[in-house]
Amino acid sequence: MRYQVESTKGVSIAMLMIICWAGLLTFLLAGYTIRPFSPLTYLFVAIQTHLFTGLFITAHDAMHGVVSRNKKVNKLIGQICATLFVFNSYKRLFPKHHEHHRFVKSEKDPDYYEGNFFMWYFHFMKQYVTVWQIVLAAITFNILTLVVPQLNVILYWVVPSLLSTFQLFYFGTYLPHKGEHAENNVHYSRSQKKNHLWAFLTCYFFGYHYEHHHAPGTPWWQLYKVKEANPTEW
CA neighbor of 99 nearest in space, from 136, 140, 128:
128
- Domain membership of residue 198 (yes or no) is no
The pLDDT of residue 2 is above 90 = no
- Domain membership of residue 225 (yes or no) is no
Contact indicator for 85, 163 with CB cutoff of 8 Å: no
- Domain membership of residue 55 (yes or no) is yes
- Domain membership of residue 202 (yes or no) is no
d(CA 202, CA 168): 9
Residue 60 belongs to what domain range? 9-180
pLDDT at 233: 61
- Domain membership of residue 118 (yes or no) is yes
Query: What's 114's DSSP letter?
Result: S
| pLDDT tens figures, 127-136 | 888 999 999 9
| pLDDT tens figures, 222-233 | 999 999 987 666
Q: How many domains is the chain built from?
A: 1
Residue 200 neighbours by CB under 8 Å, 6+ apart: 224
